[in-house]
């Protein structure tokens, strides 16, 4: 975690997260950067743990993403290693060798196959992960005391201003199963699949195929509906691990007892985690919810909503408390989706400001100004063309974002 001031959108405190059977957490200092904090997280997982994941669609992915993508085809996991301070992306064979060394050393410690070890890294792009530091950090982690979820959440962070974690539960096959997630992310957030680095752990017994289907479904309305700056990372990774420690009959498909409850719980957890990320957008002072209705399709509505959410002009207007609905019109028009000017309607909060291609005559600006002065802002857009709808979440764009990113490598 950085020393940056805590986001004004942060929750009041880190939640009290329960233990998950079959998961043990440890952290250590690999010293990837010159900082006085732990930066390597080591999670061991019970034998028989299944895994699913959603990974970046960037055409320049990190070696860690490529490693996880291949390992996911086997569906089994015994460990997770997360490095903070160095993304190891765009590092050629040296980067790949570092991932292979981490997996091999961890597998040797646990007596498993390297393909059962999942690796994720986050930080500066273009600097090979030092193998000597990684191995020294691993050796320290192997013998470290067990830690709690908060320590693990703090360790995976980079420019995050607060640790992020959430939990939920479900009744599956007559047993209560627990789901816990930790996540990091603050900038370079405009995922096509997931956010920066997120990890979900459950004691439910879930076959890998069903876990993958459930995670992909949960990702669509959560991680894939947030944006901070319109930039998709080379390292975006969300992994879900199911240890089976709860003892339920394994979830195999949607006909399994409790399958619907598990899907709902996973979707809820992913939504909670996604909101924690967008609330910690670099330099953010306002959370923006953008709801688009009346589109020709849900996909079209999503694209329009993201066009609004990623517009620097919209985001700076919200930062300044300016209800400049003309910028929203601009963002709708540039989205490349079906739209008709004279059917367009726009609202801020509950106040309609434009309808039928025109400003609403003599609308009261007082409630709009009051709404924009708060930490949470709603923008509603109705295209008047069909039944398609989508909701996405973003944050405003302030001088803080520039300051953080101008100094990022120093």
Residues 260 and 291 placed together within one structural domain of the fold: no
Q: What is the CATH number of the domain that holds 372?
A: 3.10.20.340
117 and 191 assigned to the same domain? yes
- Whether 195 is catalytic is yes
In a domain, 18, yes or no: no
222 annotated among ligand-binding-site residues: no
Question: Per residue in 120-138, pLDDT tens?
Answer: 999 888 999 999 999 999 9
Is 410 annotated among the ligand-binding residues? yes
Q: Domain tally for the chain?
A: 2
Other beta carbons within 10 Å of 142: 15
Q: Is residue 14 part of a domain?
A: no
Domain assignment present for residue 174? The answer is yes
Tell me what pLDDT residue 3 has: 44
d(CA 206, CA 396): 39
Do both 199 and 335 map to the same domain?
no
| 91 plus 139 within the same structural domain | yes
Q: Is 24 annotated as belonging to a binding site?
A: no
Helix axes 312-319, 298-309, angle to 10 degrees: 60
Distance CA(154)–CA(182), nearest Å, equals 9
Q: Is 117 helix (H, G, I), strand (E, B) or coil?
A: strand
Q: Does 192 fall in a domain? A: yes
Give me the pLDDT at residue 191, please.
Answer: 67
Q: Please say which residue of 257, 278, 299 terminates a domain.
A: 278
From 252, 278, 304, give the residue that closes a domain: 278
- The verdict on 258 and 304 lying in the same domain is no
pLDDT score at 244: 98
Co-location of 202 and 298 in the same domain:
no
Q: Is 334 annotated as a binding residue?
A: no
Residues 249 and 306 in one domain: no
Alpha helices in 143-289 (DSSP H): 149-155, 208-219, 259-278
> Does some domain include residue 33?
yes
* Domain boundary pick from 244, 278, 312: 278
Q: Is residue 330 a part of any domain in this protein? A: yes
Of 195, 202, 243, 351, the catalytic one is: 195
Q: What per-residue string of b and e applies to 277-314 under the rule 16 or more CB within 10 Å gives b?
A: bbbbbbbbbbbbbbbbbbbebeebbbbbbbbbbbbeeb
Percent of the chain past pLDDT 90, that is, above it, reads: 81
Please tell me whether residues 61 and 204 are part of one structural domain.
yes
pTM: 0.93
**Structural domain containing residue 44:** 23-278
CATH number reported for the structural domain that contains residue 263 in this entry: 3.60.70.12
Shared domain check, 56 and 78:
yes
User: Given this model, what pLDDT does residue 239 score?
Assistant: 97
The answer to whether residue 12 sits within a structural domain is no
Residues 148-195 have pLDDT tens digits of 999 999 999 988 999 999 999 999 999 999 999 999 986 555 666 555
List the chain residues with pLDDT less than 50: 2-3, 409-410
Task: Clarify whether residues 120 and 258 are in a common domain.
Answer: yes
Assigned domain for 3 exists: no
């Amino acid at each position: 975690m950085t020393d940056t001031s805590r986001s004004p959108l942060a929750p009041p405190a880190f939640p009290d997260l329960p233990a998950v059977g079959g998961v043990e957490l440890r952290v250590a200092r690999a010293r990837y950067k010159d900082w006085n904090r732990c930066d390597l997280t080591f999670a061991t997982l019970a034998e028989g743990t299944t895994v699913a994941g959603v990974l970046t669609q960037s055409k320049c992915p990190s070696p860690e993403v490529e490693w996880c993508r291949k390992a996911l085809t086997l569906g089994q996991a015994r460990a997770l290693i997360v490095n903070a301070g160095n993304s190891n992306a765009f590092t050629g064979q040296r980067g790949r060798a570092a991932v292979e060394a981490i997996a091999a050393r961890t597998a040797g410690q646990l007596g498993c196959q390297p393909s059962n070890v999942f690796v994720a890294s986050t930080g500066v792009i273009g600097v090979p992960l030092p193998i000597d530091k990684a191995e020294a950090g691993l050796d320290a982690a192997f013998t470290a005391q067990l830690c709690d979820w908060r320590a693990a959440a703090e360790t995976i962070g980079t420019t995050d201003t607060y640790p992020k974690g959430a939990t939920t539960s479900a009744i599956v096959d007559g047993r209560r199963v627990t789901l816990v997630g930790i996540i990091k992310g603050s900038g370079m957030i405009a995922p096509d699949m997931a956010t920066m680095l997120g990890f979900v752990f459950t004691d439910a017994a879930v076959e890998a195929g069903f876990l993958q289907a459930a995670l992909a479904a949960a990702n669509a309305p959560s991680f894939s509906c947030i944006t901070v700056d319109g930039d998709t990372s080379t390292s975006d990774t969300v992994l879900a691990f199911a240890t089976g420690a709860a003892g339920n009959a394994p979830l195999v498909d949607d006909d399994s007892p409790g399958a619907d409850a598990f899907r709902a719980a996973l979707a809820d957890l992913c939504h909670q985690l996604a909101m924690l990320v967008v609330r910690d957008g670099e330099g953010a002072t306002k959370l923006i919810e953008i709801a688009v209705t009346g589109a020709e399709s849900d996909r079209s509505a999503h694209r329009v909503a993201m066009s609004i959410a990623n517009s620097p002009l919209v985001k700076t207007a919200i930062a300044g408390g300016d209800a400049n609905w003309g910028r929203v019109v601009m963002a709708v028009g540039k989205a490349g989706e079906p739209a008709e000017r004279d059917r367009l309607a726009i609202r801020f909060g509950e106040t309609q400001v434009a309808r039928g291609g025109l400003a609403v005559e003599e609308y009261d600006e007082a409630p709009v100004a009051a709404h924009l002065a708060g930490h949470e802002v709603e923008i509603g857009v109705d295209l008047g063309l069909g039944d398609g709808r989508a909701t996405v979440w973003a944050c405003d764009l302030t001088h803080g974002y520039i300051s953080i990113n101008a100094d990022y490598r120093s």
